[in-house]
A = this chain, B = another copy of it.
């Protein structure tokens, strides 16, 4: 008897024969043993056997490895076969792994030769022509071109280019760099930190380590699930949201206590969140509504307004745009809660950079165009006036609204007007939650709640109709968490903005941390993982516990949810244990969160079950 037959197969020395070649009696015996093993272990088995002198020997068995897709199918099948319970099925599927099922992927049967590899920052595969310039990407994208935006790294100025692209490839940046976070939020494939490519922005090409030169206009495919960059248009396949997957998620919904909401600020995103099973919208940002090409000039008019009257006039022109945005979103979510966060970004984010303006002034000067030159000079002065040393900690969010209440007034008007119009139209109510960002004092909360409430009254009077709405705050400064008992007296809900809260709690700027020291921190095991990916339970988590506890004690009706880290399974476990009402995450992660929330509930109620 040869003891090493199994090893020989694995080593490729012997090729196993087909089962058909077995004598029927052995084949039958093998089938019986296989069924017995699967029943005994209540899981798909990967077992080795040998036959010697017409006798079947089973050498070893273990639970078989499987793709996410197979894991879902096996788990659901085993419930039908009554081998395991629904709860066991839920516990067996790794929520992180199902993420890949929700995006377009490279055809596994095609042979692709990657030319470079970066960090798999946002899953999914996409092909398009290489464009290096954000403006060009936006313009070509508008005309229907399929673009892969390639940049050394991205900044908020690249948002328009990213929106119009199929995917993003950057040479620098980590898993939480701007490009990575924005792309994940939009559900667009992204590869970041692809440091082996050298980009020549001026000449318009990049070169790989192997010397492959890819020029502007060449077609590439990026696979954000694996980090692979492929020359040309690779074959991709649509993800299949199989019947088994839907079944599993329905079981998860019956099991979980945590609500799962989605983050979305466009009708497309809202539809996706709803289709992926979101119970509501937990974070509808409003920056995009100010940043679109036809609106930006009006926004700039508002910023450059000399006084409140001029600013109000410009804001009035923006209301119709916002009204139609909100109506589309409310229609899609009718009957379900939609949380709208009022403007959070500092005003300078809506102006061009000083360098850009100075470049334009140079041109105007050479052409002796005096009047436009004076206008640019005025813009430049404003940019300088608004510039900040630490913009993240600067004049934004609620602070901007304390000095410019007219902005939140106009937003409130658009939101509530839209809600009433949609209710009239559809006969079903819209559940509106208005969220104030970056609160750090009770007085800010009380003052801005008055601003919102009084704008609401104006709308109700004018439309001769009222609608219920809630006003709450994003708890994203450590102080907001520390004074939660007082804040809760003015708030109907809290939503933890764990991204900013993590930055302030560590005194980390995410971008700077990623760019400068995060890599070494992970390398030296100072941090075991980035607190921007997995919630920091010890520090940020402690603040969340304080705030949820103190807030609810002061206001028993307070609803408490989370707007970020909401799709990360380990963080969801913590949010479940802390007793939050809901989590909210990117639409693409809603199924992940539904499953993880169910697992968190099962774990809390039983210690017998184990995850696969």
- Which A residues fall within an 8 A CB radius of B? 388-395, 399, 402-403, 438, 440-441, 443-444, 447, 476-479, 482-483, 486, 500, 503-509, 511-513, 515-517, 520-521, 524-527, 536, 538-540, 542-543
> A478-B543, A539-B479 are known contacts. Are A507 and B440 too (CB-CB below 8 A)?
yes
User: DSSP majority for the A interface?
Assistant: helix
Chain B contacts of A520 at CB under 8 A? Answer: 402-403
A440 to B517, CA, bound (A): 14
> A394-B512, A477-B505 are known contacts. Are A542 and B447 too (CB-CB below 8 A)?
no
Chain B contacts of A524 at CB under 8 A? Answer: 402, 447
Q: A395: shortest Cβ distance to chain B, in Å?
A: 4
User: A399-B516, A403-B516, A479-B507 known; 15 other A-B pairs, CB under 8 Å?
Assistant: A389-B511, A390-B509, A391-B512, A394-B513, A395-B513, A440-B506, A441-B526, A443-B527, A447-B524, A478-B539, A478-B543, A479-B506, A482-B538, A500-B507, A504-B507
Q: A239: shortest Cβ distance to chain B, in Å?
A: 36
Chain B contacts of A515 at CB under 8 A? Answer: 388
Chain B contacts of A538 at CB under 8 A? Answer: 482-483, 486
Instruction: Indicate which residue in B393, B482, B511, B526 contacts A444 across the interface (CB closer than 8 Å).
Output: B526
A482 to B476, CA, bound (A): 16
Q: A451: shortest Cβ distance to chain B, in Å?
A: 11
Residue of B nearest to A446 (CB): B526
Contact A505 B526 (CB under 8 A): no
A540 to B403, CA, bound (A): 24
Contact B402 A509 (CB under 8 A): no
Chain B contacts of A388 at CB under 8 A? Answer: 509, 512, 515-516
Contact B517 A402 (CB under 8 A): yes
> A477-B506, A517-B395, A538-B483 are known contacts. Are A390 and B512 too (CB-CB below 8 A)?
yes
Q: A525: shortest Cβ distance to chain B, in Å?
A: 7
Instruction: Indicate which residue in B500, B505, B507 contacts A482 across the interface (CB closer than 8 Å).
Output: B505
A506 to B500, CA, bound (A): 11
Contact A393 B395 (CB under 8 A): no
Instruction: Indicate which residue in B391, B482, B511 contacts A539 across the interface (CB closer than 8 Å).
Output: B482
Instruction: Indicate which residue in B394, B482, B486 contacts A516 across the interface (CB closer than 8 Å).
Output: B394
Chain B contacts of A517 at CB under 8 A? Answer: 395, 399, 402-403
Q: A159: shortest Cβ distance to chain B, in Å?
A: 16
Q: A200: shortest Cβ distance to chain B, in Å?
A: 17
Contact B479 A526 (CB under 8 A): no
Q: A476: shortest Cβ distance to chain B, in Å?
A: 7
A483 to B527, CA, bound (A): 14
Supply 16 A–B pairs (Cβ within 8 Å), ascending by A.
A389-B511, A390-B390, A390-B511, A392-B393, A399-B517, A402-B524, A441-B506, A443-B526, A447-B526, A478-B504, A479-B506, A479-B507, A479-B536, A479-B539, A483-B539, A504-B507
Q: A480: shortest Cβ distance to chain B, in Å?
A: 9
Residue of B nearest to A502 (CB): B479
Residue of B nearest to A441 (CB): B526
Chain B contacts of A516 at CB under 8 A? Answer: 388, 394-395, 399, 403
Residue of B nearest to A395 (CB): B516
Chain B contacts of A513 at CB under 8 A? Answer: 393-395
Chain B contacts of A505 at CB under 8 A? Answer: 440, 477-479, 482, 504
Q: A13: shortest Cβ distance to chain B, in Å?
A: 47
Contact A482 B543 (CB under 8 A): yes
Most buried by B among A438, A441, A513: A441
Q: A93: shortest Cβ distance to chain B, in Å?
A: 33
Q: A482: shortest Cβ distance to chain B, in Å?
A: 5
Instruction: Indicate which residue in B392, B399, B476 contacts A389 across the interface (CB closer than 8 Å).
Output: B392
Chain B contacts of A527 at CB under 8 A? Answer: 441, 443
Chain B contacts of A389 at CB under 8 A? Answer: 391-392, 509, 511-512
A476 to B505, CA, bound (A): 10
Contact B394 A542 (CB under 8 A): no
For the complex of A and B, the 10 pairs showing the least CB-CB separation, nearest first, are A393-B509, A390-B509, A479-B539, A395-B516, A394-B512, A478-B478, A477-B507, A390-B390, A388-B512, A440-B506
A510 to B402, CA, bound (A): 17
Chain B contacts of A478 at CB under 8 A? Answer: 478, 504-505, 507, 539, 543
A424 to B600, CA, bound (A): 63
A482 to B393, CA, bound (A): 21
Chain B contacts of A503 at CB under 8 A? Answer: 393
Q: A34: shortest Cβ distance to chain B, in Å?
A: 49
A501 to B157, CA, bound (A): 31
A224 to B516, CA, bound (A): 41
Q: A542: shortest Cβ distance to chain B, in Å?
A: 5
Chain B contacts of A511 at CB under 8 A? Answer: 389-390
A438 to B517, CA, bound (A): 14
Residue of B nearest to A508 (CB): B393
A402 to B516, CA, bound (A): 11
